[in-house]
Amino acid sequence: MKCFCISCASCLSCKFSPALRYPRLVRYNLRMSENKPQAIIIGASQGIGAELAREFSARGYAVGLAARSGDRLEALRAELSGPAFVKVMDITRTDEAMAAFESLIEDMGGMHTAVINAGTGLPNRDLAWAPEKATIDLNVTGFAAMAGVAFRHFVGQGRGRLAGLSSVAALRGIPGNAAYPATKAFVSNYLECLRLNARQRKLPISVTDLRPGFVDTPLTKGQKGMFWLTPAPVAARHIADAIERGKSIAYIPPKWRLVATVLRHLPDSIYSKM
């Protein structure tokens, strides 16, 4: 028997029962049921992530708040009336961030729900390398590292809810912003792989691919050409509902499914002229 820790890479192929593989995590799981469910939000210092922390806290969760800006996280923790835990991390520094995520789970006595929200992507028509790389590092490398920690944890305890922030933009290319839709397509496909992986294991782990339309946050401030701009607290309510219902794919708010359907079926000849 090789694997007794959360970070062992053989966890996902290990055939031993979760109780044998993760004795410490099973103990957490028992404690978890006695207390509030724990929701950890990676990228919680502003925008959708901060509103989601407020929403989960109002619904009775203990919340774990992670991002780079410790001062903003502390201000949010002070504002919440329920239990809240802070961990400063830069998820593009994957080794440190994975260790920090695991330590946040430990601080909170377990994890019931994980939302990988951190993401970026600003217009970059001339493909300057620095912003392209920053977007790929955060939305792909950082995202996969965090999703892996959460998924291994849920496999170990035999259940859980994992959600990631993709976008309606994942469905088609955008001429002036190649990295954003491409990396969000990665997020959606990655989450589908994890959902299938959990189903194959017959484990009740829900994996929710969240696809917002335009949401009013610091990321979209000043951007042109937006419509149906949703206030971040409204988006957070829809996101929390979708996660609690264990939905596989959720458009945020749901009316964006209409846009998604049109985008998916529009022939290239018409889409390329828009």
Ligand X SMILES: NC(=O)c1ccc[n+]([C@@H]2O[C@H](COP(=O)([O-])OP(=O)(O)OC[C@H]3O[C@@H](n4cnc5c(N)ncnc54)[C@H](OP(=O)(O)O)[C@@H]3O)[C@@H](O)[C@H]2O)c1
Query: Which residues contact ligand X by CB under 6 A?
Result: 43-49, 67-69, 72, 89-92, 117-121, 138, 142, 165, 167, 212, 214-215, 217-220
The CA distance from 153 to 6, in Å, is 7
Closer CB to ligand X, 57 or 117, in the complex? 117
- Specify the residue, 85 or 214, whose C-beta has the smaller distance to ligand X: 214
Residue 24 beta carbon to ligand X: minimum distance, rounded to whole angstroms: 26
CB of 16 to ligand X, least distance (A): 33
Distances (CA, A) of 96 to 87, 92, 264: 12, 9, 38
Q: Which residue, 82 or 218, has its beta carbon nearer to ligand X?
A: 218
Residue 242's CB: how many other CB atoms inside 10 A? 22
CB of 4 to ligand X, least distance (A): 29
Q: Which is nearer to ligand X, 3 or 39 (CB)?
A: 39
Residue with tokens 């994992």: 162
Nearer to ligand X among residue 157 and residue 166 (C-beta) = 166
Q: Chain centroid to CA 80: how far? A: 21
Give Cβ neighbours of residue 190 (< 8 Å, ≥ 6 apart).
143, 144, 147, 164
62-67 and 84-88: which strand pairing? parallel
CB of 29 to ligand X, least distance (A): 26
E-strand ranges in 205-260 read: 205-212, 215-216, 230-231, 249-252
Q: How far is the CB of 64 from ligand X (least distance, A)?
A: 13
